[in-house]
Amino acid sequence: MAKLIPAAERILRARALIQQARELPVPADLGRNDIHYIALVKDFFRQAKDLVKFISMTPTATAEMKAEVKAIYAEIEQADREILHPSL
């Protein structure tokens, strides 16, 4: 049976995944246009979203936790613009 992860731990793990996406080295040959690189970055973002997407729906979620979830979604969007669309 899968082990339940507390909401606070999920938030920390999601932020760590966003940081991993930021630290992923850009390939030298194709740069940010490398499909494998784009897929890895988007996978980190997907994993981060999956970790926190149900936190705000739980009855034990506090207003602080809900705000943290919104902040994580905003961080993902910002990281996506910075990493994959630096000219925008």
**Cα 36 to Cα 67: distance, rounded to the nearest angstrom:** 32
Residue count of the chain, please give it: 88
What is the DSSP code (8-state) at residue 88? -
Whole-structure pTM over 0.95, yes or no? no
| pLDDT tens string 27-36 | 989 888 899 9
| The pLDDT value given to residue 5 | 84
| pLDDT tens string 45-88 | 999 999 999 999 988 888 999 999 999 999 999 999 999 887 76
Domain regions of the chain by residue span? 7-84
Residue 1 has pLDDT above 80, yes or no: no
